[in-house]
Amino acid sequence: EIGELAVRATKTIDNESANLVKTVAERLGAHIENLRLTEQTEYALAQAQRQSNELAAINHVVTITSQTPNIQEGIQFLADEILKTVNVDQVGIAIHQSDDDFLTVLGVADKDLDRAAQAKGSKIPIKGNKLTQQVIETRQTVIVQDVFNSPLTEPVKDLMAANGFESLAVIPMPAGDEIIGTVGLASVNKNNPLSEDQIRFAETLIFQASTSFANIRLVEQLSEFLEETEQQAQRLALLNQTSAELNRVATVQEVYETTAKQTADIFEADHVSLTRVLEAGQMAEVVFVTGLNNNMPTGYLINLDNNPIGQVIKENRLHIFPVEQENNPLKTVMIAPISIGNTVIGTITLGKKLDGAKFTTTDENLLLQVASTLSSVIENKQLLAETQRRAEKERLINGITQKIQGTVTVESALQIAIEELGKVFQAPYTQIELNTQPTNGQNGQQ
């Protein structure tokens, strides 16, 4: 029973009239029930069609994103698909990259193409951005119906106003235990809010795509790792080749020259220079430069006070410095100490000219290996040179001694000594003075 049909009459209703009313009521009820069933059926069919469309869209997103080799293309595709299926004016997908303090907008779909172009590539701060922080920390979608009166959107109110957006929903992009980014859904009309079904559908699309993006990131990271490993293997091979060449050269200066040239090849550096600390310890001399001129040519003397090279020498550890001189073509330098034991004998400097160029931890470790190899070779060359000097000294002494011992008179012995010492020192004049005063009470020559 869905209701009742009441008839008020001014005269008595007989049985025939009552049966008529009853029949009308029954037929009216049956028709109303048919209408309700039809409405329910249409609603069920609409729901089924919507679910079918959603499943088709989800499958399409999963298929495309899983086959996309480039995460940038996959993210843009996802933004386009969300805009097609969710009632918003802009979809922006921001990914957490190397910079810990920002998300970078890599994908934008917008009904206004100019607005989309302006948004793509922009940076969204994490620190101090309550909305983004809440989404990342809670891993939950946050909806702001009025961006101008919400404390969550304080950092982006000017941006929202410039684009005419009044409401905003931010959805996290999970990948395992990590949130790799966020998806922002912006609307120019706060009175046309997103429905729960639209939010749920957008979340489903994003979650499914996030898994694909996580896999793409893993593949990209693996490819980068393999590329870095291959590059490092090539560098180490060049370092071994450098070490072998250094052991073949004759002088310390040749060691410096070979090291500078080979190091430039190993790091593909725009500048390599080497210095040696002078004996007083307050100055260093540039002993060789290759690549771009950094205003310190070979032979240049560097005052180590208040100087990056001086800081490296003083602390005996590697440093990376930005280059601040306007007329210097280099933008950043990495300087490593060259040490023998605990004593710093010089430095090796690498320079890059590109804005934003960075040295990695791998670069640092490799340069320290170069410096260690160089210091070992220099130490060996110095030890060899010292050994050779001592051997030559002994040879000269022995030779002079043998000649002196072959004489039979004091005069001839003195003459031999004068002649041999003159040859050793290439002296135009050599003189020996003897003490002829008596010693210990005796006459004689000393």
Domain ranges for the chain, please list them.
68-220, 249-383
Q: Do domains 68-220 and 249-383 have the same CATH topology?
A: yes
H helix runs in 283-426, sequence order: 308-315, 361-405, 410-425
What pLDDT does 445 receive?
Answer: 43
- Of 15-24, 53-62, 88-97, 390-399, give the lowest mean pLDDT range: 53-62
What percent of the chain is predicted at pLDDT more than 90? 13
Q: Of 189, 171, 188, nearest to 180 (Cα)? A: 171
pTM: 0.47
Write the CA distances from 59 to 2, 56, 129, 164, integer angstroms: 43, 5, 34, 33
What pLDDT does 444 receive?
Answer: 44
Average pLDDT over residues 52-70: 68
Q: 249-383 — its CATH code?
A: 3.30.450.40
- Answer whether residue 222 shows pLDDT above 60: no
Q: Of 71, 79, 182, nearest to 135 (Cα)? A: 182
- Answer whether residue 337 shows pLDDT above 90: yes
| Maximal C-alpha separation, the chain | 179
What pLDDT does 140 receive?
Answer: 92
What percent of the chain is predicted at pLDDT more than 70? 84
d(CA 302, CA 308): 10
Instruction: List the beta bridge partners of residue 171.
Output: 183
- Of 54-68, 102-116, 283-297, 305-319, give the lowest mean pLDDT range: 54-68
By three-state DSSP, how is residue 400 classified?
A: helix
What pLDDT does 134 receive?
Answer: 92
What pLDDT does 72 receive?
Answer: 79
Neighbouring C-beta atoms of residue 391, cutoff 10 Å = 10
Strand pairing category for 90-96 and 102-110: antiparallel
Walk across the sheet containing 102-110 and list its strands: 123-125, 102-110, 90-96, 178-187, 167-175, 142-144
What pLDDT does 384 receive?
Answer: 57
Which fold, 68-220? Beta-Lactamase (3.30.450)
Mean pLDDT of the chain: 81
Average pLDDT over residues 322-337: 85
Sequence length of the chain is 446
Dihedral sign, Cα of residue 310, residue 311, residue 312, residue 316:
positive
Average pLDDT over residues 45-72: 68
d(CA 192, CA 259): 69
* 141 touches 135 (CB < 8 A): yes
- Answer whether residue 226 shows pLDDT above 50: yes
- Banded pLDDT at 423 (limits 50, 70, 90): confident
d(CA 104, CA 119): 10
* 425 touches 400 (CB < 8 A): no
What pLDDT does 443 receive?
Answer: 47
d(CA 50, CA 56): 10
Strands, DSSP E only, in 35-134? 90-96, 102-110, 123-125
What pLDDT does 142 receive?
Answer: 92
* 79 touches 108 (CB < 8 A): yes
Buried b (16+ CB within 10 A) or exposed e, 308-326: bbbebbeeeebbebebeee
What pLDDT does 234 receive?
Answer: 77
- Answer whether residue 334 shows pLDDT above 70: yes
* 276 touches 253 (CB < 8 A): no
What pLDDT does 310 receive?
Answer: 92
Looking up tokens 């790792």 gives: 225
- Answer whether residue 229 shows pLDDT above 80: no
- Banded pLDDT at 438 (limits 50, 70, 90): low
d(CA 309, CA 311): 5
pLDDT digits (tens, 9 = 90+) for 1-26: 667 777 776 777 777 777 887 888 77
